[in-house]
Homo-oligomer: A and B are copies of this chain.
Amino acid sequence: MTNLTPVRTAFYISDSTAITAETLGHSLLAQFEDVPFRQIRIPFVDSPEKAREAAQRINQAAREDGLRPLVFTTQVDPAVNGILRESDAFCMSLFEVFIAPLEAELGVKSTHTIGRSHSQTDSNTYQHRLEAINFALGHDDGVTMSGLDEASVILVGVSRCGKTPTSLYLAMQFGVKAANYPLIPEDFERGRLPEGLERYRDRLFGLTIEPVRLHQIRSERRPNSRYAALENCRQEVADAERLMRRENIRWLDSTSKSIEEISTTIMQEIDIHRHPF
């Protein structure tokens, strides 16, 4: 006999990466915060044979957990879906639920093509996304002013306030070209934006951060430095916020926000339309 809360297994299964199934399942399970789950993604289940292998793993988890596993699937193939349904799982099939009503509403049959979501169906938009990633890497931390005309947004803020991960996420998820430029003590002394940035004022977006959090982040990088000192962090953040306020730059506090939330807010504020995938 054990005092441990029994853990249920949640499987994310698809004929392709299963990333959509995982996103979906993760979002639903987040609504049951007191229930512990073990999460397993099984990608590339694109044949009855692989479906039977997946069903065996599901049944094994059912025996080991003593609880019926959950299956979230974006499986298109009815044969594969049928095999998963016969396993000892509680099966939530995204396509089975939504495709028939959509077909009725649109008045056309779906193509029932597997693995479309993350396949390179349109190599132009895919290319665009890779270019945006390269753009973010090539315009990180103010390394160059060259090519800034192409940027949809230029993030500014003190060192380590979240500019780089946000730029990369905007590129990776939305195909948006984002540059980022640090605000440093020299800018605060001059009381002006870094030279060359003023002409892009309508594309500037500021990030700020709680000084205590900034101190923690910088301390991991350079412990006991002046750069990481709490007093210096307080000063830099206050100076940066003063500069952004005076220059009328839109900004937000990144401290308690996820990269997704920061990126979404920026796109809304700057009114960037994502490159359509």
Contacts from A to B (Cβ < 8 Å): 8, 16-20, 23-24, 26-28, 30-35, 39, 41, 43-44, 68, 70, 74, 76, 90, 92, 94-95, 97-99, 101-102, 105-106, 108, 110-113, 116-121, 126, 129-130, 133, 137, 164-165, 168-169, 172-173, 256-261, 263-265, 268, 274, 276-277
Contact = CB atoms under 8 A, between A and B. Distances in A.
Contact of A264 (B8, B18, B110, B164): B18
B26 A23 contact: no
Contacts of A32: 102, 106, 108, 110-111
A39 to B, nearest CB: 6
A105 B35 contact: no
Contact of A68 (B94, B105, B173, B259): B105
A207 to B, nearest CB: 14
Nearest to A276: B39
Contacts of A121: 30, 33
B105 A34 contact: no
Contact of A268 (B33, B43, B137): B43
Given A24-B24, A39-B276, A137-B164, A31 B172 contact: no
A258 B108 contact: no
A250 B101 CA distance: 43
B261 A119 contact: yes
